[in-house]
Chains A and B, each alone.
Chain A
Amino acid sequence: MTTPLIVDPADQRAPGTGRAGRGGRATVPAGRPGGNRWLSRGAVNGLLAIAAAYTLFPLVWLVTAATKDAGNILGGNVFSFEGFDLGHNLSTLASYDGGIYFRWYGNSLIYAGLGALGCSLVSVAAGYAFDKYRFRGKEKLFAVVLLGVLLPSTALSLPLYLLAVKTHTVNTYWSVLIPVLVNPFGVYLSRIFSAGYIPDEALEAARIDGAGEMRVFWSIGLRMVMPGFVTVFLFQFTAIWNNFFLPLVMLSDKNLYPLSLGLYNWHSNANATPDFYPMVVSGSLLAVLPLIVAFITLQRHWKAGLTAGSVK
């Protein structure tokens, strides 16, 4: 339906190619009066800088506030070096309530790590099957997957909760883990990646060598589509790490909480007990670090995912 217009994911060098193409175009504005050109260059980069300041400011605030004690956070003067208390904040975080914060951290890692791993495997297998095999009713089945993409996940969380109540699985690891193994958009992405990364000839060659279909998928297909696999994994990991509504409805046992729910709990206490403020703020900072690191180091992969999903 959309495949012909989709950019080949194997060709994700967007910034590089863009700049190369632009070399020729840079001569265009040069024909204009010089003053005007400098003005608009200043305006363009100035506007971009303002937008970047808007997006970065709250993060800078988070970093500086995490180093302050409760009094200085409440005083609002987070940009001074007064009341530097990062070490104390971190040790409170580690010791409060028997170190429950790091238990939440571990839970988040389990939910997001296992969930994303399972989800990417399942999605890539399905996407590969949709791309490489012909069978009756294939496109109809794929349309069902696309319908699933349109279903809002929060509108699904409450029905999941009601079902979990019925099946007595509410407030268990499974109640949060199983729903995140499914991501129809991951299947959609995987089909595109499979078409872009796995040439049919490679599969054919393996079949000629006598490999069975499952072996062909496992040792040839999966290996070749690995960059796409990483993209799906990254997206799902982020989605699960960021998920709040599903754990909120499913979990009541503090020991099963992921970070988002735990921090929400602390935040609710902070109005009455200001001592919670430094814990919420430094806890939030630690909670966002893995994602920021992942996004900076894996830029190529999330850009590939965004492009494959949108350029159609």
Chain B
Amino acid sequence: MSTDTGTDTTSTTGGPGAPTAARGAAGPRRPARRGPQRTGLAAGLLLTPFFALFTVAMLIPVGYAIWLSLFTQKLSGLGFEGPRNVFDGLGNYVDTLGDSAFRHGFWVLGGYVLFYIPIMVGGALALALLLDTAIARARRFFQLALFLPHAIPGLIAALIWVYLYTPGLSPVVSAMHSGGIGLDFFSANGALPSVVNIALWEWLGYNVVIFYASLQAVDRSLLEAAAVDGAGNWRLAFGIKLPLIRASVFLVLLFTIIGSLQLFTEPLLLSNTGSSITSAWTPNMYAYSEAFQLNDYGRAAAASVLIALIAAVLSFGVTRIANRKGARA
């Protein structure tokens, strides 16, 4: 039976040796017309499951949320018939943006990000650079130990820390008390650091591993040349390694910002435990309470759309800056 190579093999520059020879032999017998159609069909078949699910679980929900956000519930007439859905244009957006509780959520997030990002990115970079020095010992152990919290579900991480914050439950708080430090993790001033600490614990090692992996990819001969020229560990770290892993730093920054906008689980748990955190402390908590405590789906949809929009704009901005810097370098 005649073999059928199908794809446009003639245009690819094959590797050396046998495969090229085999292809050359099969080439002349190839029915030229069927190739592109067949591969087009195959690509379509392989892509269909993903894009079908992508449509059902991402595009349609987002579209539906946008649609829903344009309606509001009004009590009809004397209120006997129950609420009706009425088209309200951008009314929900105006209301949501005008709600001081929603805006307050972004102030909280702003404070959180100002606190969290420098500690996280700086700390992870510092630890990765330490791991990458020639004098670090037990690198595999340290990588694993730092990474392990990332294997803990966010909810359980928050649970553990809530217990470690609770006076009477926590060995940390009692140790600090006997040391004369009376720190209240649930007070108005303690809320933000408490949340930052949980997030830091969960993500620090993850980012260390990312940075360390990019440091490993740095060309060793470059570092050796610099060392021969008399550069010490500090110069190596900040003059050479850091600029070379800029791309990873931007990527981590991007994902940290997107992640920060999603802040929900940790403050939710703290808010249940007598902390000063309110039920609409972050924008996500606001959207959640609009949907489940106030049953205002229009407002909840508008808040979700706004959060997604802000995340998209921020990510786009960071990506643009990263690309421009990359192009200039």
Contact = CB atoms under 8 A, between A and B. Distances in A.
B142 A52 contact: yes
A310 B251 contact: yes
B127 A204 contact: no
Contacts of A121: 49
A295 B135 CA distance: 26
Interface residues of A, number: 119
B134 A22 contact: yes
A161 B51 CA distance: 20
A25 B171 contact: no
A205 to B, nearest CB: 6
A169 B218 CA distance: 50
B287 A158 contact: yes
A10 interface: no
A100 interface: no
Interface in A251-267: 259-260, 263-264, 267
B294 interface: no
A55 B148 contact: yes
A52 B147 CA distance: 9
Chain A contact residues: helix, strand, loop or mixed: helix
B114 interface: no
Given A25-B134, A267-B269, A310-B210, A61 B164 contact: yes
Contacts of A220: none
Interface in B49-89: 49-51, 53-54, 56-58, 60-62, 64-65, 68
Contacts of B329: none
Contacts of B3: 207-210
A28 B134 contact: yes
A156 B304 CA distance: 8
A159 B301 contact: yes
Interface of A: 5, 7, 14-15, 17-19, 21-22, 24-26, 28-29, 32, 37, 40-41, 44-45, 47-48, 51-52, 54-56, 58-59, 61-62, 65, 73-79, 121-123, 125-126, 128-130, 133-135, 141, 145, 147-148, 150-156, 158-163, 165-166, 178-179, 181-182, 184, 187, 199-201, 204-205, 207-210, 213-214, 217, 238, 241-242, 244-245, 249, 259-260, 263-264, 267-268, 271, 277, 280-281, 284, 287-288, 291-292, 294-296, 299, 303, 306-307, 309-312
